Amino acid sequence: MDYKNKSVLVTGATGLVGSCLTKKLVDMGANVTALVRDHVYNSGLIRNGYYHKINRVKGDLKDFALIERLIGEYEIEYVFHLAAQTIVPIANRNPVSTFETNIIGTSNLLEVCRRAPLFKRAVVASSDKAYGDNGKDAYTEDTPLRGEHPYDVSKSCQDLISLAYEHSYGMSVAVARCGNIYGAGDLNWSRLIPGTIRRLLNKERPLVYGNGKMLRDYFYVEDCADAYLLLGASNEVGAFNFSGGEPKTTLEVIKMIQKVMHTKSPLDYIGSNNEIDSQWLDSTKAKERLGFAPKHTLETGLIETVKWYKDIL
């Protein structure tokens, strides 16, 4: 599918992936509308100048009437739902706001889409955290959703709600479950990659949660945005895993960042962060049915990422 002249809503457009995805859609000629809750002055979408190339509606996903007006008045056909509270420590401290945004916000949006005459398709951004801790490493789309902690539970519920609208109402809804996304524009310093880069630039020691052996796969933001566009342009429904395909421990990632930055530093070990010890995603389904293939290795993605942080810090 060509996105040119299509009316597209992007929620979470000022976020890490949303900024990248919105830029790509505008460059493709799409008529993009963004639902913006907060003005994030350092957002990638503002920095790249594309904030002023799109329609912007100020509001919150919890406001059902606002969503209904937005979808109707802007004649939305395609939806990329990326808005979410995504930070695990914040979810642990503020579970209710996380549940309201990730669960209620998703159900509001899909219910409005269900009743909108021009709506054609939605891609909902889920997460590997939706699987919870299943006692194995490589998760496939058939792995049960077993979130236990507040953020994980919110993503499990968001995922199930999205699939329920597809199964029950025949809506064209697809769910993208992605690994740990990183890249230019991530301002959430509690995350491993941006936090480590900033601390090293400030001549501080990188922080390591637990013993540093927590295993994850990492997904470069440009590859993630391309995956969403690929899924959105297809007729596939249901859930798809997307990842970089290179699971690494926390310590391995920190060492790779130090290598890219040509620096070394002792590490500070701190307590656990209520996260799963080991998990990564099997993206075989996306490769076989969508032709998905990431363009960046972890090292090449980190090289681009470090360049961006050096420019802004």
**What would the DSSP string read from start to end of 221-235?**
HHHHHHHHHHHHHS-
CB-based contacts of 284, cutoff 8 Å, min separation 6? 140
- The number of C-alpha atoms within 13 Å of 270 and in the hemisphere containing its C-beta is 10
Q: What is the DSSP letter of 102?
A: I
pLDDT in tens, 166-220: 999 999 999 999 999 999 989 889 899 999 999 999 999 999 988 899 889 999 9
55-85 confidence digits (pLDDT tens): 999 999 999 999 999 999 999 999 999 998 8
Place of tokens 């329609």: 55
Beta bridge partners of 58: 36
As a whole number of angstroms, the distance between CA 102 and CA 107 comes to 9
CA-derived radius of gyration, the chain: 19
Q: By the 8 A CB rule, do 240 and 288 touch?
A: no
Structure confidence at residue 136 as a pLDDT band (50, 70, 90): low
CA 211 centroid distance within chain: 26
Non-local (6+) Cβ contacts of 135 within 8 A are: none
Tokens of 237: 């429904």
- Report the run of H or E that residue 281 belongs to, with start and end: strand 280-281
- For 32, the token pair is 């993009």
> Cα(159)–Cα(171) distance, rounded to whole angstroms?
14
Hey, which residues does 57 pair with through a beta bridge?
A: 35
Nearest to 280 by CA among 263, 302, 298: 298
- Domain borders along the chain are 7-183+218-246+276-296
pLDDT tens column, 279-309: 889 999 999 999 999 999 999 999 999 999 9
The single residue of 50, 131, 139, 151 carrying the catalytic annotation is 151
Q: What does the alpha-carbon distance between residue 154 and residue 98 come to, in Å, rounded to a whole number?
A: 7
Give CA 142 to chain center in angstroms. 20
**151 among known catalytic residues:** yes
Residue partners of 113: CB distance under 8 A and separation at least 6: 71, 76, 79, 119, 122, 165, 171
Minimal CA–CA distance to 32: which of 24, 44, 43? Answer: 24
Instruction: Give the pLDDT confidence score for residue 47 in this predicted structure.
Output: 85
Q: Name the CATH superfamily for 7-183+218-246+276-296.
A: NAD(P)-binding Rossmann-like Domain (3.40.50.720)
Q: In percent, how much of the chain has pLDDT > 70?
A: 98
Question: Which 3 state secondary structure label does DSSP give 193?
Answer: helix
Nearest to 32 by CA among 80, 67, 72: 80
Question: How confident is residue 274, by pLDDT bands cut at 50, 70 and 90?
Answer: low
Cβ 81 vs Cβ 15: under 8 Å: no
